Amino acid sequence: MAMRIVASRPDPAILSLPWDTPLEEWPDDVVVPLPRGLSRHIVRIVRLRDRVYAVKETQDDIAFREYRMLRDLQRMGMPAVLPQGVVTGREDPNGDELPAALITQHLQFSLPYRSLFSRGATVADVPVLIDAIVVLLVRLHLAGFYWGDVSLSNVLFRRNAGEFAAYLVDAETGELHEAVSDRMRDYDISVGCENIFAELMDLSASGAVQQPIDGFEIVEHLRSRYEALWGELTDLEEFRVDEMWRIEQRVERLNDLGFDVDELDIVTDLGGDTIRIQPKVVDLGHHTREVQALTGMNVEDNQARRLLNDLASFTAALDLGREDKHLVASRWMTQIFEPIMAMIPPDATGKLEPAEIFHEILEHRWYLSEKAGRQVDLHETARDYIDTFLTARPDEAITGQE
């Protein structure tokens, strides 16, 4: 049987991998010792020149289905790992058939949930992780994606200004529909509650956390937060004609949550006395898109909020409110953000993403300023944070040069 590789962005180096060897036997010079989540399949993280990939063994039809599903999610701009290709027709030196392999790009600065707890996360962080999954699940449902296997194990987390952003890493059971029905949504939530409850109990039993986890409280948190966010994004709102300001208020509330509204369905009654509004198209990334437009940086939404807040403080401090905001942002980049990032030693650049480092420096300045009884200079804060905290952190990124 001839080996076949189907790839969206062909990387010739993929051919050099030991495809005639079972994945669990791949040598250390290929496999990267990176934290992996729990999986029903054999998964390995591999380095090919300057790129890092995740390789998962599975059945041919399942590999192709998941590959195409991840490509669809990528085109829709959903937070999921990026598919690289599928390898089929594998055989060992004796001619025995080996499983197919799905290849995805490694998501930089991402960690499975268990690794977060081995790197300092505590029981207090569990609701924050659940909030990240809720946002992910709501976004997927709004896009017509039925997951079918919601769990902590099927997600990778990236830090997001003291919180987390969740990315789907396993789309094996997923389905795309015109719209996800209420029944499908409820099933996804129920499955998520069952899986996450079991995962948290296992996490607690393993000794990975020092305090007990109230699994029942957490799954109730998941369900209630999902229903609240889904309602805010989709509920029909009715008001009188003299309350037109409520349209703008609804949009502002959604913007505060980080969502942009691309379309509103506005209906008036026959007498013109009552108006009903309902968001039709919403997408997370309101602050992210603003930061990208102003600075060119691609960051998570909460990180974007922190950057925008500091940019606003910079604008006010220098009385630049009447200047073009793009020119002000460029000045902020060259005078504030870039000089601080240049202070980071080369061997510490893999600790956290730049936007997350900047967020933590802002948090550290609040602590130092309160202790000193005065506003501490940001560059002075950055030096203290880098020397005291950043250099001691474990790396959360991996590159081809490591």
Q: What string of H, E and C letters represents the secondary structure of 214-276? A: CHHHHHHHHHHHHHHHHHHHHCCEEEEHHHCHHHHHHHHHHHHCCEEEEEEEEEECCCCCEEE
- Number of domains into which the chain is organized: 4
Taking 50 as the threshold, does the pLDDT of residue 400 lie above it?
Answer: no
Q: Which of 76, 106, 136 is the last residue of a domain?
A: 106
pLDDT tens digits along 134-170: 999 999 999 999 999 999 999 999 999 989 999 999 9
Contact yes or no for 102/66 (Cβ under 8 A): yes
In this predicted model, what pLDDT tens digit does every residue of 311-364 receive, in sequence order? 999 999 999 999 999 999 999 999 999 999 999 999 999 899 999 999 999 999
Residue 217 domain flag:
yes
**Which pLDDT value is given to residue 401?**
37
Q: pLDDT tens across 201-240, in order?
A: 999 998 888 888 999 999 999 999 999 999 999 999 998 8
Distances (CA, A) of 8 to 12, 53, 89, 136, 173: 12, 14, 18, 24, 21
% of the chain residues with pLDDT over 70: 97
Q: What is the pLDDT of residues 37-46, one digit of tens each?
A: 556 788 898 9
Residue 399: per-residue pLDDT: 43
Among 50-54, 190-194, 303-307, the minimum mean pLDDT is found in 50-54
State the average pLDDT for the chain: 91
In a domain, 37, yes or no: yes
49, 82, 106 - which closes a domain: 106
Q: What is the mean pLDDT of residues 363-391?
A: 94
Tell me: pLDDT of 36 over 60.
no
Tokens describing residue 20: 């005639």
In a domain, 115, yes or no: yes
300 and 273 in a single domain? The answer is: no
Residue 204 lies in a domain: yes
Band of pLDDT at residue 385, cut at 50, 70 and 90 = very high
User: pTM of the full predicted structure?
Assistant: 0.88
DSSP secondary structure letter of residue 80: B
Could you tell me if 180 and 271 lie in one domain?
no
Long-range CB pairs of 385-388, under 8 A, 24+ apart, other chains included: 385/360, 385/361, 386/343, 386/344, 386/345, 386/348
Tokens, residue 31: 């496999």
Q: Could you tell me which residues come within 8 angstroms of residue 68 by beta carbon, excluding any fewer than 6 positions away?
A: none
- What is the C-alpha to C-alpha distance for residues 171 and 65, in angstroms, rounded to an integer? 9
Q: Is the pLDDT of residue 398 over 90?
A: no
Question: Above pLDDT 90, what percent of the chain?
Answer: 68
Q: Which is nearest to 282 in space by CA: 266, 256, 301, 263?
A: 263
Count CB atoms within 10 A of the CB of residue 376.
18
Is the same domain home to 135 and 56?
no
Phi, psi for 159 (deg, rounded to 5): -65, 145
> Which of helix, strand or coil describes residue 54?
strand
Please answer whether residues 246 and 267 qualify as being in contact, where contact means their C-beta atoms are separated by less than 8 angstroms: no
- Comparing CA positions, the residue from 158, 184, 194, 152 lying closest to residue 170 is 152
Q: Does residue 120 fall inside a structural domain?
A: yes
Q: What pLDDT score was predicted for residue 396?
A: 84
CA 387 to mean position of chain CA atoms: 28
What single string gives the DSSP state of each residue in 322-386? Answer: TS-HHHHHHHHIIIIIHHHHHTS-GGGTTSS-HHHHHHHHHHHHHHHHHHHTS---HHHHHHHHH
Q: Is residue 397 part of a domain?
A: no
Q: Tokens 């709501």 — which residue? A: 138
Mean pLDDT (whole number) for 46-73: 92
Are residue 248 and residue 347 in the same domain, yes or no? no
Domain span at residue 320 reads 287-392
Residues 126 and 141 in one domain: yes
Contact indicator for 59, 67 with CB cutoff of 8 Å: no
- Residue 369 and residue 329 share a domain: yes
Residue with tokens 């590789």, as numbered in its chain: 5
Q: How far apart are the first and last CA of the chain?
A: 36
